[in-house]
Amino acid sequence: MRPVLFLACALALSPSPRLLAQDSGTNGSDGFVLRTDESDEPIVVTGKRDLDEDRVRSAVRSIAARGRSAAQPLARYHDPLCVTVIGFGETLGERIAERVRMRARLVGVEVAEPGCAPNATLVMVDKPAVLIDRMRRERPGLMDSDSLRRIRATLRRGYPAISWATTERRDRLGRHLPPGNPLSGYEQDSLFNEMMSSRDNRFPSQFNIDFSIARSGAVVVLDAYRMDGVHLDQLADYAAMRILGDPRPGRQPGEDESETILNLFHLGPEEAPPGLTLVDLAYLKGLYEMSPTEPGNRLEVFTIAAYAELTRGAGEPPK
């Protein structure tokens, strides 16, 4: 699928909603400053800096999608990210888009130059179900059967944010495959037939994965009438998690789970974190530090390493 379809579809089908997201200060939660090589600007995040490996591993399992396999890599952006935001007006929309781009740079995602063809869309409308139904009928290539099943389940629950993504198979380095390549066509059932299993004295069973999975587009649809009191920075960081990563669909957080911006619409804007938390950043950074062919079940290992790296660079909160 061509990424530009995400922008064209959203522009053609979305009405102009009433803006209910508030442009106010943060919700007062304490934070601390991160300085990294990927960003010139200091980033303020919240979250505990003393989680042990088991707690970080548990947090990843709570955040990340189920079904991660030793025989398949995780989907992520291999092309430069190009974000478009619709339904917030030009000024606020660009503020949200730039914050998503900042988060992308922070975790190691390349960002496209201005004038690019969008491959990630955040849109706010007053009737999400109507928009999605028209997208399904008029642009069926925007969502596969699995995405459609998740979307319908989310709509039935009355959740105020719906998100999905499209993926495609690439070569080992994340590059487009030439036409006719047997690895092309991610929808085919030959996925596991293209992998070879090798054995040696160190590893009783090790998969050679000969392909990567690229996220070719992502959409986040927000219900305008359910955004009251939500700060723009919270919306931007929530969207960044849904666009850049592959977290589990929305559900009620457990009492022992680590803080995450994904709880924004469960806890409400006052109780939810003011933006990405340390665990959120570690999850995204770990995902994008994996090689394109890294088995998906190793996400926890990379997230634990990213968490340790981030905590070493953490300073005190700004005064």
In eight-state DSSP terms, residue 210 is -
What was the pLDDT predicted at 160? 94
Written as six digits, the tokens of 6 are 């995400």
Asked if 288 and 108 touch (Cβ cutoff 8 Å), the reply is yes
Residue 126 has φ and ψ, to the nearest 5°, of -90, -10
- In contact, 213 and 74? CB cutoff 8 Å: yes
> Does residue 103 contact residue 284 with C-beta atoms inside 8 Å?
yes
Instruction: Parse the chain into domains and list their residue ranges.
Output: 4-312
Instruction: Return the H-helix or E-strand segment holding 312.
Output: helix 299-312
Strand order in the sheet with 212-223: 83-86, 120-125, 212-223, 161-170
Amino acid occupying residue 80: P
Q: Compute the distance between CA of residue 202 and CA of residue 211 in angstroms, rounded to an integer.
A: 23
Q: Which residues of the chain register pLDDT less than 50?
A: 1-29, 186-205, 255-256, 317-319
Alpha carbons 162 and 223: distance in angstroms, whole number: 9
Query: In the prediction, which pLDDT does 209 show?
Result: 86
CA distance 113 to 126: 31
The predicted structure's pLDDT at residue 3? 41
Each residue's pLDDT tens digit, 260-313: 999 999 999 999 999 999 999 999 999 999 999 999 999 999 999 999 998 886
Candidates 228, 218, 24, 19; CA nearest to 124 is 19
> Which of 253, 241, 222 shows the shortest CA–CA distance to 159?
222
Q: How far is residue 72's CA from residue 187's CA, in Å, rounded to a whole number?
A: 14
pLDDT at 28: 40
CA triple 309-98-127, angle to 5 deg? 115
pLDDT at residue 219, rounded to an integer? 95
Helix segments in 127-263, DSSP class H = 128-138, 145-156, 232-244
Write the DSSP assignment of 14-65 as a string of letters.
---PPP--B---------EEE--TT-SS-EEEBS-S---HHHHHHHHHHHBP
DSSP classification of residue 179: T
